[in-house]
Amino acid sequence: MRAQFVFHEVWIGLRRNLTMTVALVVVVAISLSLLGTGLLFVKQVDNTRQFWQSRVQLSVYLCTKSELGGTCAKNGAVTLAEENSIKNELEATHDVASIQFVSQRAAVKQFREEFASDEPIVKYTASSQIPPSFEIRLKNTEADAGPVSSVMDGAPGVSGVIDDASILDQFYRLLDSARNAVVIIAIFLLVAAIMLVANTIRLSAFNRRRETSIMRLVGASNFYVQLPFLMEGLIAGLIGWLVATGLLIGAKSLLLSSLRSVFPVGVQLSTADLIEVIIVAMILGLLICGSTSFLTLRRYLRV
Amino acid sequence: MIHFDNVTKTYTNQGRPALENVNLDVEKGEFVFLVGPSGSGKSTFLRLVLKEERPTSGRIHVAGRDLARLTNWKVPQLRRRIGCVFQDFRLLPNKNVYQNIAFALEVIGKPRRFIRKVVPEVIDLVGLEGKRDRMPDELSGGEQQRVAMARAFVNRPMILLADEPTGNIDPATSIGIMKVLDRINRTGTTVVMATHDAAIVDSMRKRVIELEYGKVVRDQSRGVYGQAY
């Protein structure tokens, strides 16, 4: 095989078809990067879901002196007797796997650690404002928190019950719909990319009909006749993929930083995830461009 | 070399067959004129030899191969043994003489060293010494046809098919073209030439096969163009 000859032909083809080639590269790049972003979203959701699944719990916050929610306004800060009766009631409730009491001192310590970077908040929050709580883990992490809430809501000394899962659900819904939107756009663009590949190859075949007719006449093998066209599609796909890779690397850092600002803990996307997505995008891009070129060629360059 | 056994070719959407029950043999090294009015089936004959078309019925053997049993991916190998020349030359306008001829070898994967050696030889053979760097639009019709013949012959085919090679060329220049074809024929290459040019056929005194309405109406060794009664 004369590689130099084939590449020369490919170069001529790409150059003669410059506008089509550029359009193809742009569409492939955008569709692949959108699809990649969608995949990154999926990975992100999976990662956080795993991370939080093991940590999801119910928090039963108890009254402090300054707290006004629940029964607190009437009764004031929680008493030791109230704490004990709450604990007993929780232990008797179906579905509760473990109960952990977080004293006010422990809660203050944790609060100061989590907001260490945000000095004013720490400074202006009095220790007495941080409520002690019972952290409850359910036997089944996906179960409804209803029974516990109904027992605890309004019990003396309880200011409120917060189910972590309900917070996470909102977060997941946000991620899921963002992902769906991105993937749907990507699919439309991929369809456009397929049609563009077909059109580019068709134009290219038309531009070079003299050459190909002579090639067929003097007995060039199908491989030789079709390879330059196939390569044209593949090279455009490859360049599109390279651009998409750049966009994805940008998207990853952007996505991460914006998610971090909304949801500070447990949001992680490793480089390995990114590489995986980029490889998937490459395979998909080459597959789409290659197979479309090949199928188009079979129609326009019959022996 | 070319063997037609009761070959009929009917194109779809056409009532009358383009070729009907054609039986003929062309031996190795022969020079054959294919004559007949337009639409008599000359071009169909050439296309069948190249396996650009398949016969509706009958068998065709070319260079020892049964074309019906030749798979599609082996057709290129058949075509490497057949050179083709056309009325309209079919040169690549953006390549010079040398590149046009070399293209035929490049696309069948011949090594560069081989191409450098044989292309100048064949340029000499067709009488284009010193014009290897000319572009096709800088050449006369006769010279362009010589380039086309060089391209057809550069891979030393067993058969050379010429479809009205002098059709666009004035009579004086045509003689030169015929001399080149004769020279190619003398190397042992079988030449089949479809033509309307009575003067050339009469002067060459080679075998003449006449087609009319898709049938062979005359097959004569050392024949002339017009009907010989």
pLDDT of A132 reads 81
Token pair recorded at residue A117: 């970077």
CA B98/CA B196 separation, integer angstroms: 30
Cβ contacts of A94 within 8 Å, gap of 6 or more: A147
pLDDT of A40 reads 81
- Residues B63-99 have pLDDT tens digits of 989 999 998 888 999 999 999 999 999 999 999 999 9
A218: nearest Cα among B182, B71, B156, B196: B156
With an 8 Å Cβ cutoff, are A303 and B72 in contact? Answer: yes
| φ/ψ bin of A181: left (φ > 0), alpha (ψ from -120 to 50), beta (otherwise) | alpha
Q: Give the chain B residue whose CA is nearest to the CA of A9.
A: B107
Mean pLDDT of B134-162: 95
| Residues in chain A closer than 8 A to B112 (CB atoms) | 2
Ordered by start, the domain boundaries in chain A are 3-52+169-300, 54-164
| Residues in chain A closer than 8 A to B50 (CB atoms) | 217
Mean pLDDT of B171-194: 94
- Report ipTM (2 d.p.): 0.87
Q: Which residue has the higher pLDDT, A176 or B163?
A: B163
CB B105 within 8 A of CB B155: yes
pLDDT of B229 reads 43
CATH of A54-164, one of 3.40.50.150, 3.30.70.3040, 3.40.50.10860, 3.20.20.140: 3.30.70.3040
Average pLDDT, chain B: 92
Beta strand pairing call for B31-35 and B207-212: parallel
Q: Give the chain B residue whose CA is nearest to the CA of A216.
A: B76
How close B228 comes to chain A (CA, Å)?
A: 36
Give yes or no for A16 touching B (CB within 8 A).
no
With an 8 Å Cβ cutoff, are A214 and B104 in contact? Answer: yes
| Residues in chain B closer than 8 A to A224 (CB atoms) | 107-109
Interface of A with B in 183-212 (CB under 8 A): 210-211
How close B154 comes to chain A (CA, Å)?
A: 10
Interface of A with B in 213-232 (CB under 8 A): 213-222, 224-225
With an 8 Å Cβ cutoff, are B90 and A211 in contact? Answer: no
Strand ranges (E), chain B: 2-9, 19-26, 31-35, 57-62, 65-66, 82-86, 159-163, 190-194, 207-212, 215-220
Of A147-156, B4-13, B53-62, B211-220, the range with the lowest mean pLDDT is A147-156
B73, B93, B108 member nearest A218 (Cβ): B108
Strand partners, A163: A58
| Residues in chain A closer than 8 A to B108 (CB atoms) | 218-221, 224
With an 8 Å Cβ cutoff, are B106 and A2 in contact? Answer: yes
With an 8 Å Cβ cutoff, are A225 and B79 in contact? Answer: no
The position carrying tokens 């054959």 is B32
With an 8 Å Cβ cutoff, are B109 and A219 in contact? Answer: no
With an 8 Å Cβ cutoff, are A218 and B151 in contact? Answer: yes
Token pair recorded at residue A295: 């199928």
pLDDT of A204 reads 83
How close A212 comes to chain B (CA, Å)?
A: 10
Return residue ranges of chain B for CATH 3.40.50.300. Answer: 1-81+157-224
Per-residue pLDDT of chain A (303 residues; tens, 9 = 90+): 567 777 887 887 788 788 888 988 998 898 888 888 888 877 777 777 777 666 667 788 878 777 766 677 766 777 777 777 777 777 777 777 778 888 878 888 888 887 777 777 777 777 777 888 888 777 766 556 676 776 777 777 777 777 777 777 787 788 788 778 888 888 888 898 888 888 888 888 888 888 888 998 999 888 888 888 888 888 889 999 999 999 988 888 887 777 666 665 555 667 888 888 899 989 988 998 889 888 888 877 665
| Residues in chain A closer than 8 A to B78 (CB atoms) | 219
Q: Is B209 helix (H, G, I), strand (E, B) or coil?
A: strand
| Residues in chain A closer than 8 A to B159 (CB atoms) | none
- Residues B106-119 have pLDDT tens digits of 989 899 899 999 99
Burial of A253 (0-12, 13-18, 19+ CB in 10 A): exposed
Q: Is A106 helix (H, G, I), strand (E, B) or coil?
A: helix
pTM exceeds cut of 0.90: no
Chains A and B: how many Cβ contacts under 8 Å?
60
How close B23 comes to chain A (CA, Å)?
A: 25
pLDDT(B121) > 80 = yes
With an 8 Å Cβ cutoff, are B103 and A214 in contact? Answer: yes
CA B95/CA A215 separation, integer angstroms: 14
How close A6 comes to chain B (CA, Å)?
A: 9
Most B CBs within 10 Å, among A208, A218, A227, A303, to test the B interface: A218
B1-81+157-224: CATH topology is Rossmann fold (3.40.50)
CA A67/CA A75 separation, integer angstroms: 10
pLDDT of B68 reads 92
Mean pLDDT of B180-196: 94
Beta sheet of A158-163, edge-to-edge order: A96-102, A133-138, A58-62, A158-163
Of A177-191, B49-63, B181-195, the range with the lowest mean pLDDT is A177-191
B81, B82, B107 member nearest A220 (Cβ): B107
Q: Give the chain B residue whose CA is nearest to the CA of A4.
A: B106
Residues of B near A (Cβ–Cβ under 8 Å) read 50, 72-73, 75-84, 90, 92-93, 103-104, 106-109, 112, 151-152, 155
